[in-house]
Amino acid sequence: MRRFIAKTIKGSVIEYDNGSFDEWCVYLVKENGERHAFRDIEYFDLLEQFGLIYGQEKVYNDFVYIYNNSSTSISDVTINKISKLAKEYESNENKAFVLFVVLHATMVAEENKENTKLGKRIKRLGVHQVLIDNIKPKIASGFSRGMRWREIDRICTEKGF
């Protein structure tokens, strides 16, 4: 069941639809109908690149603003703020917009997962690892696989979230 999230600067659409696990898979749909589902490693790679260009602290602080404004539904206020934030990424404005909207959408999805114990904190852990702890995206994207939620919760708590 497709659900609209946002339209990008270049005319593509970001939406939820059925994925391999649930109906909270985030897709970028190009004008020609081509669809792409995002994986953690993709946006972690882009976060790392942006951190090198714009500063890890700036990118992390922009993410934390979005994190703090993500709950169980997509927020038009947050999408509008992302649009303003993306302008600060100059020639990468569209990439930044897509990145931060996708992160917002994935955090909303995490908050809506049945029986979630960690919610959006799991995304923040990965972003923190990439931008603050300088862990490579490939490692950060698979870090919590097989771990019990209490162990991940402890790590998040130690990091202050």
Residue 71 binned pLDDT confidence (cut-offs 50, 70, 90): very high
pTM over 0.85: yes
Residue 142 binned pLDDT confidence (cut-offs 50, 70, 90): very high
**Residues 33, 14: Cα–Cα separation, whole Å:** 12
- Closest by CA to 130, choosing from 47, 53, 16, is 47
- Closest by CA to 14, choosing from 141, 112, 104, is 104
What residue ranges do the domains of the chain occupy? Answer: 39-158
Q: How many residues appear in the chain?
A: 161
Q: What are the phi and psi torsion angles at 76 (to 5°)?
A: -65, -35
Measured CA angle at 69 (ends 35, 97), to 5 deg? 40
Average pLDDT across the chain, whole number = 95
Question: Is the pLDDT reported for residue 9 higher than 90?
Answer: no
pLDDT tens for each residue of 76-122: 999 999 999 999 999 999 999 999 999 999 999 999 998 899 999 99
Residue type, 30: K
Question: How large is the C-alpha radius of gyration of the chain?
Answer: 15
**Residues 98, 89: Cα–Cα separation, whole Å:** 12
Per mean pLDDT, which range of 18-32, 48-62, 124-138 is the poorest? Answer: 18-32
